[in-house]
Amino acid sequence: MIPSTDYIRLLPELILIVFGLLVMLIEPLLGEHNNRKGLGAIALMGAVLSILASFYQTGYEGAAFFDMIHVDTFSIFFHVLIGLIAAVVILASFEYLNLQQIRYGEYYGLILLSSVGMMLMSSAVELVLIFIALEISSIGTYILAGFRRNAPISIESSMKYFLLGSFATAFFLYGVALMFGATGSTSVYTIATTLAQGATPLAYVGIALMFVGLGFKVASAPFHIWTPDVYEGAPAPVVAFMSTGPKAAAFAVLLRVLFATEAPGWFWLIWASAVLSMTLGNIGALVQNNVKRLLAYSSIAQAGYILVAFAAAKDIGISAVIFYAAAYAAMNVGAFAVASHLANVGEKYVTLDDYAGLGRRAPGLAAVLTIFMLSLIGIPVTGGFLAKFYVFQAAMQSHLTGLVIIGVINSAVAAYYYLRVIVYMYMREPQRDVPVLKMPFALGVSLAACLAATIYLGVLPGRILDYAMASARVLVR
Amino acid sequence: MLHLALFLIFGVIAVVGAINLIAQTHPINSALSLVVVMGSLAAEYLLLGAEFLGAIQVIVYAGAIMVLFVFTIMLLNAGAEEQTRGSKVAIIIGIPGMVIGSVAVAWALIRAHTGAEVPVGSLYGSAQGIGHLLFRDFLLPFEITSVLILIAIMGAVVLARRES
């Protein structure tokens, strides 16, 4: 018998599955010419209910389904984060789908169902389940990337993401298999006790291969090559989703795999990957003229900063990762939501030249984007600043001076291309006539949410930080 | 002893089949090489004592899925693949990288002594044992796989539908 508390520990996922199916089932029942905007509201309701269910879980911490998932402060944090990302992206998609003539039912269904995978990734403590959850989240995003059916670039993006992503997943699976060979178990906690008695070379290879697979999912160098092409072609709200949700989930898995198992020998892997990601990401972004590509390179660099915190000592490093994941989600979803609104029909206006003079044509939108850019640079009063601050502080306390120096130099380089966007918006004359659509209400709400979260994390980080610290302690206990 | 010899023979056949699968340029030849790989893997499972898994491997992979592959190739009438001039970087970095990777994995496998080794042929993986694992310990992954399959079906529908 499965006790009923087990279902409560799975409640957010169950709600998302139910609503995902509901959206798909209702769509064909609506007539050919009926208004389909209600579907978005149903999907939004599903996401919000799953967030509430995650909060409800605080009273029901513990393992469920024969030690497959583990509900603790760590998993609840990521459940809420992923739920919020899904909700904001659904809001931002209301007008976009209409504009680009994308079918509603499958779109919302896929967003909800791939969120199921991401949420499970953050609570799973069994490598088999982690793998299946990873596949759910990945396959969902592969398909979402190709949703602009009449744009060849979108199909190309989906195809590239699918081929390279499957390749990377195979690495992860191979790593899991070798880990099973080395320890005789796929449960994170059993692996931890076995590894504590001494690790064989097999365990090292297993960890390295798992890192390759997860490194691809978080777009860290040298597994980042796919990122700009995929982000450029995929629909902008989908990019907002897949550059934050699956990434946060993959970082959660990486935290579990590396820290809960007390795995050996990953330090220099992470160190090298962090340095490469920061450097290649920032240098790549310097020469970009397409805003979506620019943000793609920026997200590679941001993954590098997060990896710096991995290399740092346990508790503070983990809490810095968690805090950074939240701040990054807020500012990145916001930036892509603005880009999706400006892109217009067929995503025609995505170059920096199209952003010229935006400060006069759409002052509100330009101001919002400016704040997200400042946060991505790491200017005080924004979440991005404190996130970077905690990451580098954690690295300093662990005596990783070299890594901190490289990181700070990179942050300075990064300021150039983020500021370039702001300079274009406020100080350049528009080259051609770029229409700016009226701001739809739903998108306004989603932008306001991102903005509020960015500022809140920058001004009053205390509660989130305490929570991140508590999660970190749960993880390494 | 016979078990070990058979195990090694089928192992070599599987690896040769896999290399041939990549080396062939015509999709049908590749698909037939895949049958060889799947078949010899089934034999390996049998030799390891996982008889249920071996049977499933033959029925599902070597049988159903391969038929599907061959049908698809025939329906698409796919010809031999065109050779592109492979980039130099891929050859210069890729081949040594592959060799180093394989050697590292092989070395780690040889060095691995977990104390839990079992001689070839002495395990017994029954349908009952698998059923117990699948519907008790691994119930959640088993059920969640349905979401995975559902997403894949949706993807096929979305990407294959003709836009009006």
d(CA B12, CA B44) in angstroms, rounded, equals 11
Closest Cβ opposite residue B148 in set A68, A135, A182: A135
| CATH number for domain B1-81, candidates 1.20.120.1200, 1.20.140.150, 3.30.379.10, 1.10.10.10 | 1.20.120.1200
Chain A residue with the nearest C-alpha to that of B148: A136
Classify B46 as helix, strand or coil: helix
- Domain range for A109: 4-476
pLDDT of residue A260: 83
Contacts with A, B 25-84, CB within 8 Å: none
Interface test with B, best of A107, A135, A180 (most B CBs within 10 A): A135
Shortest CA distance from B140: residue in chain A = A65
Residue B164 banded pLDDT, cuts 50, 70, 90? low
The residue type of A325 is A
- pLDDT score recorded for residue A30: 83
Instruction: Kindly identify which residue of chain A lies nearest to residue B105, measuring between CA atoms.
Output: A205
Helix (H, G, I), strand (E, B) or coil at A461: coil
Contacts of B118 in chain A (CB under 8 A): none
Exposed (0-12), middle (13-18) or buried (19+): which is B99, by Cβ within 10 Å?
Answer: exposed
Higher pLDDT, A85 or B93: A85
Nearest chain A residue to B155 by CA: give it: A143
A213 part of contact set with chain B, CB < 8 Å: no
- B112–chain A Cβ distance below 8 A for any pair: yes
Gap from A121 CA to chain B (nearest CA, Å): 12
**Best residue in A19, A68, A125 for a mutation probing chain B (most B CBs within 10 Å):** A68
Residue contact B151–A178, C-beta within 8 A: no
User: B95 at the A interface (CB within 8 A)?
Assistant: no
Would you call B105 and A106 a contact, using CB atoms and an 8 Å cutoff?
Answer: no
Q: Does the pLDDT at position B52 exceed 90?
A: no
Smallest Cβ–Cβ distance between B137 and the set A66, A178, A201 belongs to A66
Q: Is the pLDDT of residue B84 over 90?
A: no
A311: buried, middle or exposed (CB in 10 Å: 19+, 13-18, 0-12)? buried
- Report the candidate in A298, A256, A289, A225 with the shortest Cα–Cα distance to residue A475: A256
Q: How far is B43 from chain A (nearest CA, A)?
A: 20
Please tell me which of A18-22, B86-90, B120-124 the model is most confident about, judged by mean pLDDT.
A18-22
**CA closest to A144 among chain B residues:** B155
* B140 interfaces chain A, CB cutoff of 8 Å: yes
Contact between A172 and A134 (Cβ < 8 Å): yes
The whole-number pLDDT of residue A283 equals 94
What is the block-wise mean pLDDT of chain A (477 residues), using blocks of 10 residues?
90 96 90 79 95 94 91 94 96 89 89 96 94 96 92 92 94 93 88 86 90 94 92 94 95 91 84 95 93 95 94 87 95 94 87 89 92 94 93 92 93 94 90 85 94 94 92 85
User: Could you report the predicted ipTM of this complex, rounded to two decimals?
Assistant: 0.91
Question: For residue A71, which of A128, A140, A134, A13 has the smallest C-alpha distance?
Answer: A13
A102 contact B CB<8A: no
Burial per residue of A2-20, b for 16 or more beta-carbon CB atoms within 10 angstroms, e otherwise: eeeebebbbbbbebbbebb
Q: Residue A133: in which H helix or E strand, if any?
A: helix A127-145
Confidence of residue B49 (pLDDT cuts 50, 70, 90): confident
- Of all residues in chain B, what percent carry a pLDDT higher than 70? 91
Q: Does position B89 have pLDDT exceeding 90, yes or no?
A: no
Q: Does B144 touch chain A (CB under 8 A)?
A: yes
Q: Domain count of chain A?
A: 1
Nearest beta carbon to residue A106 from set B109, B116, B154? B154
Name chain B contacts of A201, Cβ cutoff 8 Å.
107-108, 111-112
